Amino acid sequence: MTQSFDDIPETALAWHQAGKGAALATVVETWGSAPRPVGSQLAISGAGEIAGSVSGGCVEGAVVVEAMDALEDHKSRILEFGVSDDEAFAVGLACGGTIRVLVEPIGDAAQALRAAILEELCAARADRRAMAYVVDTDAWTRRLAGVADYPARFRADKSGFDEAEFIAIHNPPLRMAVVGAVHIAQPLMVMARLAGYDAVLIDPREAFGSAARFPGETILHDWPDEALAGFGLDARTAVVTLTHDPKLDDPAIITALRSDVFYLGCLGSMRTHAKRVARLTEHGFNSADVARIHAPVGLDLGSKSPAEIAVSVMAEITETLRKRV
C-alpha cells in the first residue's frame, strides 16, 4: 500500500501490528530556518524500514540508531543535536543550531507509546477529527486532547511544549472546493495545491470543467450542492464560488452556510452580492449567516488579471484561517 508522506503515525501503527516493532521520532524543538518544522515525524520499524523525515538528512541516521535502541530497552528519550554551520549549509540552511527529537517506542512498557492511544489517534485522523497527542516528558504519561483544550495551537497548526508537556497537533488536511470552472479557477486551483490544500473543482458544465482546461485537477461534474455533500464540508474546508450564475452558486452557498466551513467566498460586485443576500434571506438565513460570506471575494489588492484575483482569494483564505478568533 502506498503511504502519504504525512501518514507517519499510520505507518508506525501498521508496522507494530504486523509484529515488526516500531518507534516514532518527532521534532519537538529546532532552530529558526529548519528543514523540517516542529511536529514532523519519522517512523522506524524493527526491521530497519523508515518513513517520513525529521531533518534534511544531517541527523536522521543517529535518530534511527537511537530508535533501534529504544525498541530494545522500551524507553522513550529526547535527543538533542547541535548542528554545525557546515552541516547546516549542506542541508540548505544559512547557519547551524539545535534540533531536539522525541523518540518513542510503541508497546506496553511504562515509558512506551501504547498502541491503544496510537490507534485512537489514527482513527481520529481517518475521520478528519482534530486531535492533540500530549506526552509529559517528565512522567512519560500520555493522553489525547481536543480543540477546546488548545484552541490557539489548533488554529495556528502549532505543535510545541507547554512546560514539560509536548503537544503534537494533528489537524485534518486543509481542503478547498472551487465552484465554477472559470478563468480565475485555473490559477486558483494551482495556488491552492501549492498552499497545501486538497482542492476540487465543481462544475456540472463539462465543456467548462474539462481536463483540457484543468489538466491534473480533480473535477466533479455533479450539481454543486450534491458535489459538496459528497466531498464533505468541515472546519478545515474553504469554499469559493465563481460562476456568477445563481443557479450554480446559490446551491453551493446554501450548502456551505449549513456547514462549519472556515471560509466561504463568492465572486461578484456589491450589487450582485446584495441580490444574493436577498435570495438567501428568502431561504431563511439571517444576518449572522450572511456575514460569514466574503464578498466580493478576495482581499482588496487592486487585482486585475485572473491570476492576481486568485492571489487575493488565497490571501483572504489564509488570513481567515490564521487570524480568526
How far apart, in whole angstroms, are the C-alpha atoms of residue 154 and residue 253? 26
Strand partners, 266: 241
Q: Which of 98, 88, 242 is nearest to 180 (CA)?
A: 242
Q: Which runs of E-coded beta strand occur in the chain?
A: 22-29, 41-45, 50-52, 77-83, 97-105, 131-136, 142-145, 160-162, 165-170, 175-179, 198-202, 218-220, 237-241, 263-266, 293-294
Q: Which three cell numbers stand for residue 255?
A: 450548502
216 SS3 class: coil
Domain 175-323 has CATH 3.40.50.720: yes
How many residues appear in the chain?
325
Instruction: Classify the C-alpha dihedral 240-242-245-247 as positive or negative.
Output: negative
6 closest CA partner among 32, 49, 29, 37: 37
Give the span between the Cα atoms of 168 and 38, in whole angstroms: 9
Q: How many CB atoms lie within 10 A of CB 140?
A: 16
Number of C-beta neighbours around residue 172 at 10 A: 18
Tell me the C-alpha to C-alpha distance, in Å, between residue 147 and each of 85, 170, 171, 172, 196: 39, 10, 9, 12, 21
pLDDT at 98: 78
Q: Which residues of the chain have pLDDT under 70?
A: 1-5, 32-35, 56-58, 83-97, 324-325
* pLDDT confidence of residue 96: 59
Output DSSP code: residue 264.
E
The whole-number pLDDT of residue 134 equals 98
Q: What is the pLDDT of residue 137?
A: 96
Tell the burial category of 4 from Cβ atoms under 10 Å away from its Cβ (0-12, 13-18, 19+). exposed
What pLDDT digit, counting tens, does each position of 58-76 carry? Answer: 688 889 999 999 999 999 9
Q: What 3-state DSSP class applies to 2? A: coil
Instruction: Answer yes or no: are the C-beta atoms of 56 and 81 closer than 8 Å.
Output: no
Hey, where are the domains in the chain?
A: 8-170, 175-323
HSE (CB half, 13 Å, CA atoms) of 83? Answer: 29
Q: How far apart are CA 173 and CA 237, in angstroms?
A: 9
